[in-house]
Amino acid sequence: MSKALSIFDTTLRDGTQGEGISLSADDKLKIAKKLDQLGVHYIEGGIPGSNSKDIEFFKRVQDFGLSAKITAFGSTRRKDSIAEHDANLKRVIESGVQVATLVGKSWDFHVYTALQTTLDENLAMIYDSIAYLKRQGLEVIFDAEHFFDGYKNNPEYALAVMHKAEEAGADVLTMCDTNGGTMPHEVHDIVSVLAGRVTTSRLGIHTHNDCELAVANSLSAVRAGAEQIQGTMNGYGERCGNANLCSIIPNLQLKLGYEVLEPERLMQLTNTARYVSEIANVYMPINQPYVGTSAFAHKGGIHVSAILRDSRTYEHITPETVGNRQRVLVSELAGQSNILSKAQELGIPFDPENEDTREVISKIKDLEHQGYQFEGADASLELLLREANGDLKELFVFESFKMLVEKSAGKPVISEAFVKLNIDGTSIYTAAEGNGPVNALDNALRKALITYYPGLQEIHLSDYKVRVLDDKDATASKVRVLIESRNYENSWSTVGVSGNVIEASWEALVDSLRYALIGQTKREDYTEIPSAARGLVNH
């Protein structure tokens, strides 16, 4: 099939309605940049004017020069009013986007119950709003809320809604399974009917996963005529979530033969999914299809024996097609090709037959077993590889640190850190306060090093996330800390794991400064420039 499809990502809007998901403006901008690198065609940023985060996002994203089209979400004008005076529509226009996503009612039950207006007035609301935005030069995507429920209850009216939107100039008519209760065969039949009635607009599909059918329903809609697919990364969304683009994209491209992403972009799918998971600070199921860490993992028995001869025996696609990798959980070969590829990318010479190479591969495997996740912490992985290759030397020797956290009635918590290091044979002891234990540690460590390495003044911690790895031990559970740091030009992420959140934070923090210091030198001079020792925790 040669029909080109467009991917509409609504992670930043609909995805954030999922329980436990909250993204800052910086988070949304990072994800938008990553989605653009993946190659999605539309990125829905949020609702202009609804909150300060979305206002900041739409203001700043214009300077990013993204290839994807940024869309703003809004609803049709209020009943018994005019579109030109509608504050919601004005905010969409003022957001500076080129594409507006407009939601309207297509279920007569909702028109009567939610809007409390007439069917004719709802049609007028849809027509006026779309026509107004089109006069402003915007591309308009019309989201017909509850379309499938509306069609099953009153097919004539649901189709009338779509015809009115098309008449107003809507570029895409999106059929929404808002309650997520429609079956795949129903989706196919209903989309087929609409596809035979529409003449100028393209058709889109937006499904929810309440029956575990969002992906299947999206595929059914495409086979019946839909050309734009809405969904979220990792299926984030309200209730049971939205259609998972991490499954939809490869299913369309690799199984059904549609044009979706360029092959080299598709290879970024796994990394993008895991990156979004880390930024959202939401656990990513290891058995998630295509992009999960266990999606192509094999453990013992005849499976391992067979895949080592030919991976097609137990793998439906080549993992690298979607940027994932095969994992042989009981074999010393597991992870070797991935590590060697990463070393080659960094210009680090590694011989797979060398004992040191086998040791670092074994070390990284062991760290992953302990809970380390290097997909979102490339800086920590690079440091491990350079240490194994002898590129890094000690910059300081860690001796000790202490933390003081004091809370008095009616007063804010005070955090103070005391750090003792040895630099070039000189014992350095510093103390610093912070608005939390990690900030205090960061300040004390910098205070000790800044005289020797003034370049650290350009570095700051830009993000800090903690994830509980196994909640069965409650407050004694092991945690993974992910720290993002940046200077004027670049950003990088490091990871630490421990049963003590302060220890895990220290490990990630020290790695961050180590990476910052080697980043300030020429790559070919690594062996001549000393770099920070790991300090408290030795991988």
Answer yes or no: CATH 3.30.160.270 is held by domain 397-528.
Answer: yes
pLDDT of 522 strictly over 90: no
pLDDT over threshold 90, residue 454: no
pLDDT, average across residues 344-350: 73
Per the document, the length of the chain is 539
**Mean pLDDT across the stretch 503-531?**
65
476 — pLDDT class (breaks 50, 70, 90): low
Distance CA 291, CA 430 (A): 44
Does domain 6-16+26-239+255-280 fall under CATH 3.20.20.70? My reply is yes
d(CA 153, CA 120): 17
Contacts of 471 (CB under 8 A, 6+ apart): 477
pLDDT tier, 4 (very low <50, low <70, confident <90, very high otherwise): confident
- Domain residue ranges of the chain, discontinuous segments joined by +: 6-16+26-239+255-280, 285-334, 397-528
Read off the pLDDT band of 530 (50, 70, 90): very low
- Contact criterion met (CB below 8 Å) for 203 and 234: no
Q: What is the pLDDT of residues 18-57, one digit of tens each?
A: 999 999 999 999 999 999 999 999 999 999 988 899 999 9
30 phi, psi to nearest 5 deg: -60, -45
Q: Contacts from 92-96 at CB under 8 Å and sequence distance 24+?
A: 92/48, 92/133, 92/138, 93/133, 93/136, 93/138, 94/48, 94/49, 95/48, 95/49, 95/58, 96/58, 96/59, 96/62
pLDDT given at position 375: 63
pLDDT beyond 50 at 305 = yes
pLDDT for 366 equals 83
User: Which of 408-422, 436-450, 485-499, 521-535 is the least confident region?
Assistant: 521-535
pLDDT for the residue 281: 87
The CATH code of domain 285-334 reads 4.10.430.20
Cβ-contact 144, 182 below 8 angstroms: no
Q: What is the pLDDT of residues 248-281, one digit of tens each?
A: 999 999 999 998 999 999 999 999 999 999 899 8
3-state secondary structure of 6: strand
Q: Tokens 């800390």 sit at which residue? A: 481
